[in-house]
Amino acid sequence: MNSRRNFLQKLVASAIAFPLIPADAYTLNEKKEDPAWDGPPLRVAIMGLGSYGTRVAEAMRDCKRARLTGVISGTPAKITNWQSKYNIPAANCYNYENFDRIKDNHDIDAVYVITPNALHHDQVIRVAKAGKHVICEKPMAVNAKEGQEMVDACKKANVKLLVGYRMHFEPKTLEIIRMRKEGELGKIGFFQGLSGFTIGDPTQWRLNKALSGGGAMMDIGIYSINGARYMVGEEPVWVTAQETKTNPEKFKPGVDETIQFQLGFPSGAVASCLSTYSMNNLDRFFLDGEKGWAELWPATGYGPIKGRTNKGELTQPHMTHQTVQMDEMAAIIQEGKQPVVPVDGDEAVRDLKIIDAIYEAVRTGKKVELK
């Protein structure tokens, strides 16, 4: 986390440009492609070389349709390390001041933005203006207004904007969605989503409103928001919410510690959810219908996900989420494949509108209607 803070400090202070040196001394990983896919891989640069960026890079070693070909970071030492570890050509390495130059780099098709939430807006728009497709971590922005601006910028630039909703490709999750769609659970009446953990280092960017846009809701809470939507299969029409703060020293104004929130859907179904940074063992989805029920616990962790329904245990095999996500996103970008649950910018804006409404409900103590 210290390295992330150092990077942020350098970003604010405008770090010295990382020099670009000829790439003729470097070669990309030679990788055997999936026999079922005879096209070129999606060539991806990762922006933000922190812990999750590293997780994605490691997962991409097993991708069949996507390949890591570039990096963008504010820390030269990280770039040097990744060059060696992943055989990244020096010509494909950029910092936060010069990454607009990717416009002229034909070895990069897309950029995966994995930086603090508040930086996504400007970085995504810059990538779009450079003519590259964008994958952005969630939440896509700190509010719906910024999110819509990102969607509009990508549409204007004629590039795709996808968001890192890895659970949309998770087999047990998709099985429950299938059961609900085919009527096996009957009319849905209730969803419960619990998302939380006890956060550590109080100086990290996730507890800095200027960088995170909030607190637990802008990190772990979005899983229950998004999960409620794809599990119930409807868009909510109202929100109520209540905030609890037990440690105001750690959780400053504007940084939520715990929020309980409720969603109402057009069919009459309701959702009761909790987002927190102060309790462990909270990663559970429960869906109840007239004919049956389904549960995931853990529901959104890196896996393996465990699930059961009124018909018994779910046995779909575990696959590394980020590997599946990147291969599926390559298919979306290259072939226009349509996922069961959308992962585009419009999907992310829907979540952001709900987050905006939750914060308004906390502030006013009133039910907030959603349009």
CB of 124 closer than 8 Å to CB of 161: yes
Q: Which of 94, 96, 165, 223 is catalytic?
A: 223
Can 223 be counted among the known catalytic residues? yes
CB of 176 closer than 8 Å to CB of 232: no
d(CA 345, CA 284): 26
Environment class of 291 (CB within 10 Å of its CB; exposed 0-12, middle 13-18, buried 19+): exposed
Q: Which of 86, 96, 112, 138 is catalytic?
A: 138
Buried/exposed 147-177: b ≥16 CB within 10 Å, e otherwise: bbbbbebbeebebbbbbbbbbbbbebbbbbb
d(CA 231, CA 299): 12
Vertex 94 angle, CA 91 and 98, to 5°: 115
Nearest alpha-carbon partner for 343 in 160, 108, 157, 159? 160
Task: Please name the residues in contact with 211: beta carbons below 8 A apart, sequence gap of 6 or more.
Answer: 8, 116, 117, 118, 119, 205
* Partner residues linked to 244 by β-bridges: 258
* Partner residues linked to 70 by β-bridges: 45
d(CA 105, CA 351): 33
d(CA 42, CA 45): 10
d(CA 329, CA 167): 13
d(CA 185, CA 233): 12
Nearest alpha-carbon partner for 233 in 281, 195, 271, 290? 271
Residues marked active site are found at 138, 223
